[in-house]
Amino acid sequence: MDRVRQLVRYWCDDTFSGKCLGKGVTAAVLDTGLAPHPDFRGRVRVFLDLTKGKKQLRQPYDDSGHGTHVAGILAGDGRMSGGLLAGMAPEAELVILKVLDEKGEGSIEDILRGIRWVEENAARLGIRVVNISVGAKSGLGEEKERRLLSAVEMLWDQNLVVTVSAGNQGPGEGSVAVPGTSRKIITVGALKTGTGVLNCSGRGPTRECVVKPDLFAPGYLIRSCSHRPGRRSGYYTAKSGTSMAAPVVCGAAALYLCKYPEASNTEVKLRLLQTALKTEGGKGERCLDVKHFLH
């Protein structure tokens, strides 16, 4: 994460001073759950397991590791790394909804159940940002696609900043995964950095000729929280994909709302797009630039 923060120009007056680290902002993460990692201590407001129709509160757990890694990128405080592997918004609070199983897969009904839960409880819990590092595989079907798109757009219409991953079926045209095809929400692609990494980030345009992803962030070989923390296994591990890029942007949005709590989600999206930097040698990729974004 230290490398990620360097690439997105994280360090600026607001972050150096500690004034804008996500305090007062609650982020909802819909994923595979959350392990009891020290980096989240005292900041998990709600954990709800919605897989297989359980609909019950449980102690936080993650039988995959994907959700813990994503949450660490967004809001881990890096205490077990001396701060080097802190996430983007290390003082933000978390609402964790487990909608995917141990394989990182989930039914459309479980995902929709999680989205509806956020919609119904956002005001009560003060949820401002939502990260959904989920991309439907091809062949989902038009009806299910429509329902998923409608659901995430309802969150957006509630003034929530919604970030989703572009999917890993790229880089060919028209390969952005649903719900990243929505024209409203913020779709994030993984920026290819270094050599020897397969670039699989989904790309537009969508069937409606919408340019996607909206912007890019580092997503390959990102070190973040492990779901099996301990001396033997280590507290951190590396993962790759657009799932890792989306929470980088979601965390940046949490920083912005910490500084400008009255900002709307549309303002956040426009500001992200206006301040993104075009990458050198890329194919039109525009990368998150936190320093410019928060200025």
149 φ/ψ sector (left φ>0, alpha ψ -120 to 50, else beta): alpha
Other C-beta atoms closer than 10 Å to the C-beta of 103 total 10
Q: How many helices (H) and strands (E) does the chain have?
A: 8, 12
Q: Which is catalytic among the residues 31, 39, 49, 289?
A: 31
Choice among 165, 182, 226, 243 that is catalytic: 243
Torsion of CA 72, 27, 270, 164, to 10 degrees: 60
What phi, psi does 128 have (nearest 5°)? -115, -30
Nearest to 282 by CA among 218, 223, 222, 238: 218
- Annotation says 243 is catalytic: yes
Q: How far apart are CA 147 and CA 150, in angstroms?
A: 5
Catalytic-labelled residue, pool 37, 49, 66, 289: 66
Check if 66 is active-site.
Answer: yes
Classified as helix, coil or strand, 272 is helix
The rounded distance, in Å, linking the Cα atoms of 217 and 172 is: 18
Residue owning tokens 């500001």? 271
Pick the closest to residue 96 from 67, 69, 72 (CA basis): 67
Told to judge if 17 belongs to the known catalytic residues of this protein, a careful annotator would answer no
Residue positions annotated with a catalytic role = 31, 66, 243
